[in-house]
């Protein structure tokens, strides 16, 4: 019996078993346990389920989707995503977002006629939109598996323990945020799709954090000494509306005086106060002026109107009756938090920094309402107001902070700057910019593209933003060096502090998760070990053909660097 025939028989038996008990009163037994229901977790669940596996997926919040939903960050994508450079299921998600607006909103005739509708008309992406639309689309994509019992979703559940034996994880214990009930999930395969790689220390998987040294990685932009506590800033995002002539001024935040006067201390220097319409240019690090006009519908020539930047609802895309106005999503340098980290220290320290990050975001709101300079010479826009209906929270802040950097597995293969960075590739090859490409990985299981974009960090670094080349995702970066049955599905794969900067965005995280789900399914159905697949050229080629058959691209056409 060949592998594809075995897979068909195994998948048939798995689907038949799905009708039987997945769950005991305090536990679950499944084929793959996905811990974390973010962007990569959802993609992993789709891949595992469509290949017949029984899946349990947990999620810390009450919304699946991660950075697309609970973190309230509209997609950051490369310019070719409409046509190639992403998986078929990711493009199906994107199409479904647009169709959701056509099906459920009273779009204007002009907006309805746009084949590539940008619901929010934001400048950062061709698909800026409300997080609850992504939530609805992701729930719809998973609905048939949930209804059949093949997929069990445990919302508001967080991992608290793991049981291991030798080089394998046997079970993970999760706890309900509401009832504090603990449940044990047993499975032959585990996927860590948490936002900060929370399963790695619990399961004793070797990992790294922060900024590696030049001695460790050889990277062009790495420091001489490792800085494990130097993490990229995280951000508590929020949605903001505007009603001219109204007063929605919030109560003065507890830490407002601190944040109003705060001047970042970093290298190279920040140009002044954090709460200002000036910031470091991410590439040149010189002072960059920005502006803000909630009544405007575009950015003036040579300037960036932050209101437009991540706008997620554009009123003119809709029939005028019943529309409250534009909504923007605030994920700006002005509310990036870098005074501490969310992991690596105590739970009390993490809680303190999360609360301070919320205070920063609320202080930004209050500053914009009361003191921010207006283009007309006045101060503040009292009509600005938080939109808790958009974020699904009482305070109007996102349910979960936007995490840019996670714990990362010590992998069989680690992607470094010299594999994907334009300057590093040019230096190594001695070739001009137009003649270099990213390293070609023979074990590629996906593709992505984004600049190496590192936000200011808790170690005092200003932006590190350098050109990168359209890259591949190597299978070796999904395999821990020792543990045999756990895969990453978020920002926790085998990358460095630097290369995380281009592997951390939405379509890449989706691809990482989908390939991890495919790997778990293939190993389970074909009776193979993941290292066996990577080391055997025939088995690897067969797995890559399976990826291609299910819409996962593993190679790029020749493209210019970003």
524-537 pLDDT, tens digit per residue, is 999 999 999 999 99
DSSP string for 480-524? BSS-SSEEE-SS-SSB-TTTHHHH-SHHHHHHHHHHHHHHHHHHH
Model confidence at 7, in pLDDT bands (50, 70, 90)? very low
Question: What Rg value do the Cα atoms of the chain yield, rounded?
Answer: 23
pLDDT grade, residue 547 (50/70/90)? very high
> ∠502-504-506 over CA atoms, to 5°?
110
Per the listing, tokens 């932050």 go with 306
Closest C-alpha to 493, from 507, 508, 520, 485: 508
Taking the domains of the chain in order of start, what are their residue ranges?
28-210+405-549, 234-391
The pLDDT value recorded for residue 559 is 61
With a cut of 90, say whether residue 25 has pLDDT above it: no
In this prediction, residues 493-501 reach a mean pLDDT of: 98
Q: How far apart are CA 522 and CA 458, in angstroms?
A: 40
Q: Read off the tokens for 174.
A: 């999760």
pLDDT given for residue 17 in this prediction: 41
pLDDT at 297: 85
The fraction of the chain above a pLDDT of 90, given in percent, is 91
Three-state SS at 466: strand
Which residue is listed with tokens 């010479």?
A: 377
Q: Alpha-carbon distance 58 to 157, whole Å?
A: 6
pLDDT at 19 exceeding the cut of 50: no
**151-155 and 238-242: which strand pairing?**
unpaired
Q: What percent of the chain has pLDDT over 70?
A: 95
91 Cα distance to chain centroid = 16
pLDDT given at position 28 = 97
Residue with tokens 């389970």: 524
Confidence check: pLDDT of 67 > 70 = yes
Tell me, what's the pLDDT at 322? Answer: 73
> Rounded to the nearest 10 degrees, what angle do helices 88-104 and 506-526 cross at?
120
Q: Residue 323's closest CA among 241, 239, 238, 240?
A: 241
Given this model, what pLDDT does residue 560 score? 58
What is the tens place of the pLDDT at every residue in 269-287?
Answer: 999 999 999 999 999 999 9
- The residue behind tokens 């319409």 is 277
pTM of the complete model: 0.94
The model's pLDDT over 427-483, given as tens digits with 9 standing for 90+, comes to 988 989 888 999 999 999 999 999 999 999 999 999 999 999 999 999 999 999 999
303 band by pLDDT with thresholds 50, 70 and 90:
confident
The answer on pLDDT for 9 being more than 90 is no
28-210+405-549 CATH: 3.50.50.60
Q: Which residues pair with 41 in a beta bridge?
A: none
**pLDDT, tens only, 139-194:** 999 999 999 999 999 999 999 999 999 999 999 999 999 999 999 999 999 999 99
**What residue spans of 392-473 are helical by DSSP H?**
417-420, 422-429
Q: Do 121 and 298 contact (CB within 8 A), yes or no?
A: no
Is it the case that residue 351 has pLDDT exceeding 70? yes
- pLDDT score of 562: 57
**The pLDDT of residue 335:** 98
């Amino acid at each position: 019996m060949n592998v594809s025939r075995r897979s068909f028989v195994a998948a048939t038996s798995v689907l038949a078993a799905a009708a039987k008990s997945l769950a005991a009163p305090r536990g679950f037994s499944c084929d793959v346990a996905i811990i974390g229901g973010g962007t990569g977790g959802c993609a992993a669940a789709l891949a595992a389920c469509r290949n017949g596996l029984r899946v349990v997926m947990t999620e810390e919040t009450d919304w699946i989707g991660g950075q697309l939903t609970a973190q309230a960050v509209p997609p950051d994508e490369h310019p070719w995503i409409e046509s190639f450079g992403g998986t078929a299921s990711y493009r199906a998600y994107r199409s479904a977002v647009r169709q959701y607006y056509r099906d459920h909103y009273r779009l204007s005739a002009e907006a309805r006629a746009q084949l590539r509708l940008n619901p929010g008309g934001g400048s950062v992406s061709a698909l800026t939109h409300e997080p609850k639309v992504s939530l609805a689309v992701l729930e719809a994509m998973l609905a048939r598996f949930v209804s059949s019992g093949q997929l069990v979703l445990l919302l508001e559940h967080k991992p608290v323990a793991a049981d291991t034996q030798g080089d394998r994880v046997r079970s993970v214990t999760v706890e309900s945020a509401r009832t504090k009930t603990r449940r044990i999930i047993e499975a032959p395969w585990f996927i860590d799709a948490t936002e900060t790689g929370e399963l790695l220390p619990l399961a004793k998987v070797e990992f790294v954090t922060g900024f590696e040294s030049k001695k460790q990685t050889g990277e062009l932009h790495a420091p001489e000494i490792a800085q494990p506590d130097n993490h990229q800033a995280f951000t508590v995002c929020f949605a903001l509306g505007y009603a001219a002539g109204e007063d929605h001024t919030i109560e003065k935040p507890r830490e407002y005086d601190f944040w109003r006067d705060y001047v970042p201390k970093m290298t190279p220097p920040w140009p002044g106060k954090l709460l200002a319409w000036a910031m470091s240019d991410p590439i040149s690090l010189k002072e960059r002026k920005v502006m803000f006009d909630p009544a405007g519908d575009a950015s003036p020539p040579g300037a960036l109107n932050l209101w437009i930047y991540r706008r997620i609802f554009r009123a003119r895309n809709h029939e005028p009756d019943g529309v409250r106005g534009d909504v923007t999503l605030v994920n700006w340098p002005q509310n990036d938090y870098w005074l501490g980290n969310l992991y690596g220290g105590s739970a009390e320290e993490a809680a303190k920094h999360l609360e301070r990050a919320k205070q920063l975001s609320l202080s930004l709101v209050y500053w914009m309402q009361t003191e921010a300079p207006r283009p007309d010479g006045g101060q503040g826009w009292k009509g600005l107001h938080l939109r808790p209906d958009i974020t699904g929270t009482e305070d109007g802040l996102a349910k979960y902070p936007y995490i840019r950097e996670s714990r990362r597995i010590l992998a069989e293969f680690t992607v470094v700057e010299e594999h994907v960075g334009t300057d590093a590739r040019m230096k190594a090859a001695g070739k001009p910019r137009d003649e270099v490409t990213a390293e070609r990985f023979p074990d590629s299981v996906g593709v992505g593209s984004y600049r190496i974009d590192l936000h200011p960090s808790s170690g005092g670094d200003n932006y590190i933003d350098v050109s990168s080349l359209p890259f591949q995702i190597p299978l070796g970066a999904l395999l821990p060096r020792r543990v045999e049955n756990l895969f990453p599905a978020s920002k926790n794969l085998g990358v460095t502090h630097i290369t995380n900067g281009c592997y951390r965005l939405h379509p890449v995280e989706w691809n990482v998760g989908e390939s991890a789900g495919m790997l778990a399914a293939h190993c389970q159905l074909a009776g193979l070990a993941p290292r066996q697949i990577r080391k055997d050229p025939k088995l690897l080629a067969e797995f890559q053909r399976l990826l291609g058959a299910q819409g996962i691209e593993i190679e790029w056409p020749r493209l210019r660097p970003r």
